[in-house]
Chains A and B, each alone.
Chain A
Amino acid sequence: MSSTTTSPSVSPFQLFLMRFKREKLAIAAGITLLIMILMALFAPLLLSHGPNDFDYNRILMPPSPENWVGTDIYGRDLFTRLVYGARVSLTVGFLSVTIGALVGSFIGILAAYRGGWLDSIVMRAADVLFAFPSFLLAIAIVAVLGGGIMNVIIAIAIFSAPTFARITRSSALSVLNSQFVRAATTMGASHSRIMFVHILPSTISGILVYFTMRVGTSVLTAASLSFLGMGAQPPSPEWGAMLASSRDFIAVDGYMYLTLYPGLCIFLTVLCCNVLGDGLRTALDPK
Chain B
Amino acid sequence: MPQYILKRLMGTLGVMLVIAILAFFFVHMLPGDPVRMIAGEDATLQEMEILRQKLGLNLPLHQQFYLFMVNLLQLDFGTSLISGDAVYDVLSHRYVLTAKLTLVSLWFIPAGIILGVVAATHKSRFLDRACMVFSVSGISVPEFWFGLILIQIFAVKLQWFNPTGFQSLADLTLPAITVGMMGTAVIARFTRSAFLDVLSENYIQTARAKGVKRFNVTYVHALRNAMLPIITVIGLQIGFILSGSIVVETIFGLPGLGSLLIESVVARDHPVVQTLLLLYSFHFVMINFVVDVLYTVINPQVRLK
Contacts and interface: CB of A to CB of B under 8 A. Distances in A.
B145 A128 contact: no
B293 to A, nearest CB: 15
Interface string A211-237: 000001000100110011110000000
A247 interface: yes
B140 interface: yes
Nearest to A275: B136
Interface residues on A, range: 35 or more
Contacts of A139: 246, 261-262, 265
A132 B265 contact: no
Interface in A31-64: none
A267 interface: yes
Interface of B: 15, 18-19, 26, 29-31, 136-137, 139-146, 148-149, 151-153, 156-157, 163-164, 239-240, 242-244, 246-247, 250-251, 261-262, 265-266, 273, 277, 280-281, 284-285, 288
A135 B164 CA distance: 23
Q: Which 6 A-B pairs have the closest CB atoms?
A: A263-B145, A133-B243, A270-B140, A271-B140, A136-B243, A143-B265
B144 A135 contact: no
Contacts of A251: 156, 163-164
Nearest to A243: B145
Interface stretch (A76-84, A102-110, A253-261): A253-261
A224 B142 contact: yes
Given A131-B15, A133-B242, A135-B246, A230 B265 contact: yes
A249 B161 CA distance: 17
B281 to A, nearest CB: 7
A263 B148 contact: yes
Interface string A262-285: 110011001101110010000000
Contacts of B30: 144
A227 B137 contact: no
Nearest to A125: B18
A271 B244 CA distance: 19
Given A128-B15, A260-B149, A250 B243 contact: no
Nearest to A131: B284
Given A132-B284, A228-B250, A246 B148 contact: yes
B140 A216 contact: yes
9 contacts: A133-B240, A135-B246, A139-B246, A147-B266, A256-B152, A260-B149, A263-B148, A270-B142, A271-B136
